[in-house]
Structure 1
């Protein structure tokens, strides 16, 4: 079964107590919620939130939920929601401008593992990223697995899905955004003296195995790498992205 369990393209499933609660709190359009008989006590807060919103909550046997979201740890709670709406890059720029903060975006160059994407979205929400940009092809999309791994962050971090990453970088540059590529071959490391991120910024994170593509690397204004003091020369993509995001946040909070 695919990770995104759908009856049609206009709806999707959200599995797990935390993802369902965050979907409710964010105002996501939800059609119906199912709660397993055995989970009624632990799902009381979700049931109360659903009641406030006038949503139908159906109590069912756990086996029904197992069939609805096969292979996922649903914790006895499943919701049927309107499909996630991807944003346009212009909308991300507009939201950043409205925030009054220095724009901060992530561009994910063919991140294929949905767990990595979910983890990146979770950290992005915690560090104030104004938007995440992913390609339509050769990339994980916003599946039920991503929603679960993001711990509900997908409800708060706008994601744009684009057809051409190079053209999108040009569009960001035209809007005054500097583009930094995370690359193991970069000359300067993240903590080098004078490495500042007090400008409108977009960080490119590359594919888990290949890193950033050649064309995208050449489009970047500058490249940065994480210092490595062990035997390995790279980190998991979501961990590397997390370190970079928190360094940007650290510098900006310091100002």
Structure 2
């Protein structure tokens, strides 16, 4: 009857009925699993710390400068028994003294420097190749020394004996003046002593074979070429060599700051003389000191404990040269 019908309410559209639906069959189960702990910042792709870590690893993979220099040196194939001397003065003096050269390395032009031009001429006479190199090449060859754009390769230094030094001086008509160094291990000291020996007319330097530095690239550099003019004798036993020189008529004088005598009162300075210096601090060894005919000191201020071997020997050679000049002027 009209008025008795019920309002049917909202009707669902077909296909929208709620209720159980067909499952995924486990296809999305992996998406429901956890991802584990959060990675560290440096392990997250795109994170600033991750980029910094990758950059640091790339830098670490690059060859270090030391390895780079060693690789360059191996490329030049320098024999182990050869020396590389560098610096314009040292190289020019070596060329002037006729030191045999195997190769010349230059990173600068010789047109503006007469010293380098002389080196090139000497190399041409010897048939030694002149190689144009970079400054990095020279840094590798010289071990980082101040090369001034030039270096030369020379054979191992040829030592003589103490007797050779004595005979050469006598053959030249000179009163022998030799320098002996007791356990000097610093190449800078040996180089400086060679320079002083050349300046004051010494006939050579005697060094020991053990606990003593030999003539190397640093010695060449510090001596400013004096290593090419002043011969060096290397003896197995320094005490035995000094004893032999004494038998040949030489007067052996040790330099030691603890002595009561002073060098400017040295007698017999105008005779055949061997001037001996020891290492800084330790001074002369016991046996060398006992072998000396006399030991003298160089007067210094009480505020300074001692002089190193190079400085002491330079002063000692100056005093001997001064006393010899006075003796010659007195005879004249």
Q: TM-score, normalised by structure 1?
A: 0.92
* Cα distance in 1 between the residues matched to 2:233 and 2:80: 18
CA drift at 1:57: 1.0
State the distance in 2 between where 1:48 and 1:237 align: 37
Give the match's secondary structure for 2:104. strand
Residue 83 of structure 2 is aligned to residue 12 of structure 1: yes
The 8 Å contact of residues 84 and 151 in structure 2, kept in 1 or not, is answered as yes
Residues 1:222 and 2:255 aligned together: no
**Residue in structure 2 matching 1:146, options 209, 213, 219:** 219
- Deviations for 1:35-93, whole angstroms, at most 9, x for unmatched residues? 00467644344334433544321111111111111221111101111111000122111
- Does the alignment pair 1:200 with 2:272? yes
Distance in 2, matches of 1:157 and 1:37, equals 29
The structure where strand makes up a greater share of residues is: 1
Higher relative contact order (CA 8 A, sep 6+): 1
The structure 2 residue matched to 1:238, chosen from 310, 314, 320, is: 310
> Which SS does the other structure have where 1:30 is aligned?
coil
- More deviation in 244-253 or 114-123? 244-253
- Aligned equivalent of 1:25: 96
- RMSD over aligned CA atoms reads 1.9
Tell me the secondary structure at the aligned position of residue 191 of structure 1.
helix
Residue matched to 1:56: 129
| Contact 1:39–1:75 (8 Å) recurs in 2 | no
Looking at structure 1, the residues matched to 112 and 137 of structure 2 have their Cα atoms a distance apart, in angstroms, of 18
| 1:247–1:19 distance in 2 versus 1, CA, 3 Å | same
Q: Distance in 2 between matches of 1:186 and 1:165?
A: 21
Q: What SS does the corresponding residue of 1:128 show, helix, strand or coil?
A: coil
Residue 155 of structure 2 aligns with which residue?
A: 82
Write the distance in 2 (CA, Å) between the matches of 1:49 and 1:137: 35
Displacement of 1:236: 2.0
Is the CA contact 1:31–1:81 (under 8 Å) kept in the aligned structure 2? yes
- Residue-by-residue CA offset, 1:155-184 (whole Å, 9 max, x unaligned): 111101111111111100110001011111
Aligned twin of 2:180: 107
Give, in whole Å, the separation in 2 of the partners of 1:155 and 1:37.
Answer: 23
Query: Could you list the runs of 4 or more consecutive aligned residues of structure 1 that deviate by over 4 angstroms after TM superposition?
Result: 37-40
* TM-score normalised according to structure 2 size: 0.71
Q: Secondary structure at the match of 2:283?
A: coil
Count of matched residue positions in the alignment of Structure 1 and Structure 2? 251
Post-superposition CA distance 1:70-119 (Å, at most 9, x none): 22111110111111100012211111111211111111001111111100
